[in-house]
Amino acid sequence: MNMKSARAVIAGLVVAMATPAMSATYLFNFTAPGYTGSGHFHTLDSAPSTVVGIDGLLNGNMITGLSSFASANQTLLAGAPYFTINGISFTAGGVSYNLYDYGGPGITNSVDNPGGGYAALTPLTTISVTEVTAGVPEAATWAMMIFGFGLVGASARRRLRVVAA
């Protein structure tokens, strides 16, 4: 086996052994007295899971990321109420907010509830959280498929060598 073939085999093995990244995106919409929010929760896998990113709008202000308000554990549950008592915390318009479940899903903010805790909950009137399914294969899947086609092509091209007696 020449050096070029050895490199190709090693590269193929590295790609084949790569673990595909699991991730999930959830579309959310909610309303509460004084609040309207919508956007996406980004998790590492299907719910229940830890939210690792968020984007969207709250009352017309862009949600700029997760925050650590009120000891949030950033856990998204698979079904209603969708949040734990510690909740999912994020920042919008320079203010931290927390979506959490305390006798029902609700929202609080650091202006109304600067010390955290659960006293200033505004109950959510409506809430929906739906997983967004992706239709495009991940990069590792494409790489393994292309490598497989390359191996089939290389084996079809390879000639049998005749050993002189």
Q: What's the pLDDT at 112?
A: 72
Collapsing DSSP states into helix, strand and coil, what is residue 125? coil
Bridge partner list, 94: none
Place of tokens 């050993």: 163
Q: What's the pLDDT at 5?
A: 63
Q: Which residues contact 43 (CB under 8 A, 6 or more apart)?
A: 23, 24, 25, 26, 49, 50, 51, 52, 76
* pTM as predicted: 0.67
Q: What's the pLDDT at 40?
A: 96
Encode the chain (165 residues) as per-residue pLDDT tens digits: 566 665 666 655 555 444 445 688 999 999 999 999 999 999 988 889 999 999 999 999 999 999 987 678 999 999 889 999 889 999 999 899 999 898 889 888 877 776 666 667 899 999 999 998 766 667 777 788 888 888 887 777 776 556 666
Whether the link from the prior residue into 48 is cis, omega within 30° of 0, is yes
Q: Residue 96: which of 60, 67, 122 has the closest Cα?
A: 67
Kindly tell me the sign of the dihedral angle through the C-alpha atoms of 3, 5, 11, 16. negative
